[in-house]
A and B are shown apart, each in its own frame.
Chain A
Amino acid sequence: MRKRKGQPTFVGYRRASGEVGTRNLLGIFSLVTCANEAAVNIGRQVPGAAIFTHQNGCGQTQADLEAVTRTLIHLGQNPNLGAVLLVSLGCEGLSPDRIGEAIGQAKKPVEMVRIQQQGGYLGALAEAGLKSQKLAQAISAFRREEVGVEELVLGLKCGASDPTSGLAANPPLGKAVDRLIDLAGSVIFGETTEVVGAEHILAKRAKNEAVAKKLLGLIDRLEARVRASGSDIRGGNPSAGNIAGGITTLEEKSLGSIVKSGSSAIQDVYEYGERKQGRGLFFVDSPGREPEILTALAAAGAQVIAFATGLGAPQGFPFVPVIKICANWKTVQRLPDFIDLDVSGVISGEESLEEAGERILQEVLEVASGKWTKAETLGYNGSTNIYTTGPIV
């Protein structure tokens, strides 16, 4: 581990805003579902561009358009992006100019291509080609420099879980998180659905009453939404499969997931698409499904994501490296192209939770310093979408 005055460090891209990126990419953002095709093909013209597409931006309630707008703004402000090119159709329900101006407040170059004003798809491709060439060349001059671990913002996720996840992958991840928070770094987690049943335990870790209330409010709102659709989270949980895997109660299932957030105090709770302020541990409202939560973590400011898996999840994210951590040695052997870090030694007895946690933190710092994740080497990074709750109209 790289160190300065006894404290771990990493090498990252210091931005004009003062924040630090772990990648230095040109973001190509589609602003509306109708512009996705163009954004993807514009992105293909630029080696290494990070393409973000989603199924939103028009034909939605005002509240949803607002959520989509703030998510796109905060994604654009993520320090892993050196510059951003926005791809607009021209008649979408959200305001492209507002998004462009707000991303620019993070002191990075932002350009826009408007398909309806640029002579259609082919015209937009040509215009975007020239603009993105200029942006890509400009950001290529950035260099990494050594920075303190307190600049690190780690996102957390678990998925394609199995009984090893809650026993030996999430617990050491929680140890790594505690260590990172002790070192003044920041961590963001979410998956509101996975908290149901253990919300009272998480609420005890809130910094104050107001933060606890926000967290419990998110759970109530989620349960009301699920009930309105005719289902009940508490009713069918734990599932028959969970019970066969050894999980007895909903509390136990939820604890197996939230144990990855360690034991530190929760500084604040955010709505989907909001950006964290300050340092420490934060919760962001989000579903557990990969495209939506990886997007929420990136929008909240994560520069690296640690993803615990049991059965093996493939996905990365276009501009935030996603590290796969697995404690199931069969999966580690079966899916070497997905798994970055093998913590199955926790189960075999070769390694303690603390030792595995230390290795996770080391890997996070390596990846923050530029080491590619398996998902990056595969280019398996199109897992993107923005979570909305209202009807499509």
Chain B
Amino acid sequence: MAATPMVALKRFILLHPSDNTATALADLQKGEALHLDLGAEGRDLTLRESIPFAHKFAILPIPQGGEVKKYGELIGEASLDIEAGEYVHVHNVVSRRTRGQGR
């Protein structure tokens, strides 16, 4: 099965329902309109930036200092205000767990 998936049918993956980030499953383009299927309610989202394969974008606004979530867990905090549809990576997220920050 899945021998030659030349065309990605799925554009992104939401790894956990409580996440505020989703991960691109293809190279996504700025302006691309996505539909989030969140069980009972869905939401439409327009990408504010291009997102490379396996990179993340916000599906909800995340204020500076707010929790960034993937896998249903905290992966860092926003170092800037992040809008829904924005690229989420090292330029706007910092780890809370690297050296000196303790557990």
Residues 329-381 of A at the B interface (beta carbon under 8 Å): 329, 332-333, 342-351
Task: Say yes or no: is B93 at the interface (Cβ < 8 Å to chain A).
Answer: yes
A349 CB contacts on chain B under 8 angstroms: 5, 8-10, 25
Task: Say yes or no: is A100 at the interface (Cβ < 8 Å to chain B).
Answer: no
**CB–CB A246/B54 < 8 A:** yes
Interface size class of A (residues with CB under 8 A): 35 or more
With known contacts A164-B54, A167-B23, A349-B25, A250–B95 Cβ distance under 8 A: yes
Task: Say yes or no: is B76 at the interface (Cβ < 8 Å to chain A).
Answer: yes
Task: Say yes or no: is A208 at the interface (Cβ < 8 Å to chain B).
Answer: no
**CB–CB A246/B5 < 8 A:** no
Q: Digit string of A189-209 for contact with B (CB within 8 Å is 1, else 0)?
A: 000000001111100000000
B30 CB contacts on chain A under 8 angstroms: none
Task: Say yes or no: is B1 at the interface (Cβ < 8 Å to chain A).
Answer: yes
Which one of B7, B55, B74, B95 lies within 8 Å of A246 (CB-CB)?
A: B55
**Bound Cα distance from A215 to B88, whole angstroms:** 31
B15 CB contacts on chain A under 8 angstroms: 167, 171, 259
Residues 34-54 of B at the A interface (beta carbon under 8 Å): 52-54
A contact face: mostly helix, strand, loop, or mixed: helix
Q: Which residue of A lies closest to B23 (CB)?
A: A167
**CB–CB B1/A197 < 8 A:** no
Most-contacted residue by chain B among A246, A255, A259, A342 (CB, 10 A): A246
**CB–CB B53/A348 < 8 A:** no
With known contacts A347-B10, A349-B25, A251–B75 Cβ distance under 8 A: yes
Q: Digit string of B71-100 for contact with A (CB within 8 Å is 1, else 0)?
A: 101111000000000001110011111110
The smallest beta-carbon distance between B100 and chain A, in angstroms, is 9
Most-contacted residue by chain B among A237, A329, A343, A348 (CB, 10 A): A348
**CB–CB B73/A350 < 8 A:** no
A350 CB contacts on chain B under 8 angstroms: 1-2, 5, 9
B5 CB contacts on chain A under 8 angstroms: 329, 344-345, 347-350
Q: Which residue of B lies closest to A342 (CB)?
A: B2
**CB–CB A255/B75 < 8 A:** yes
**CB–CB A246/B8 < 8 A:** no
Nearest 8 CB-CB pairings of A with B: A349-B10, A348-B5, A349-B9, A163-B54, A345-B2, A249-B95, A246-B55, A246-B54
